[in-house]
Amino acid sequence: DILQHPMTTLPSEIAGSFLGQSLRFGVVAARFNETFVNQLLSGALDCLVRHGVAASNITVVRVPGAFEVPGALLELGQRGEVDGLVALGAVIRGETPHFDFICSACASGCQSVSQQLRMPVAFGILTCDTPEQAAARSGGKAGNKGAEAALAALEMVDVYRQLKS
């Protein structure tokens, strides 16, 4: 194992920190399935503030549903007032293929926004088969994916800064 060999020079490594002081974040949260999304939002905001982001440096934008999240992320990011973005929503499978179209469009839209803006966009959109799965992932036994997305955004802002310097 190259990492264990004492005579090996290791390649340079970039790793992000979770220090939020002076950072600014935008959070776009869908209203559809609001009970779950509010829990994701609470987790995300708590995570950002616990890591030093001032509440006044967080902008929350509400949109109708997950499909609208990427567009709002793009508009918010283009303002030049945030260092990173967090997408929050909950899509629960129904009886039609609508679920697949919404999930696919939202995921690819968020990725596209990140690439267009050259800015981290953390994906905290739940894509669940049942409301029980959504409850478990929005603060239940599976944790809070909103908090996890916020933590990823914190880390990636620092990674992007290091890569650009």
Residues with a known catalytic role: 98
Report the alpha-carbon distance of residue 67 to residue 35 in Å, rounded: 18
Beta-strand ranges (E) seen in 77-142 are 84-92, 121-128, 138-140
Q: Is 40:29 a contact under the CB 8 Å cutoff? A: yes
φ, ψ dihedrals at 55, nearest 5°: -55, -35
φ, ψ dihedrals at 132, nearest 5°: -65, -40
Beta pairing, strands 143-144 & 138-140: antiparallel
Q: How many distinct helices (H) and strands (E) make up the chain? A: 5, 6
First to last CA, the chain: 31
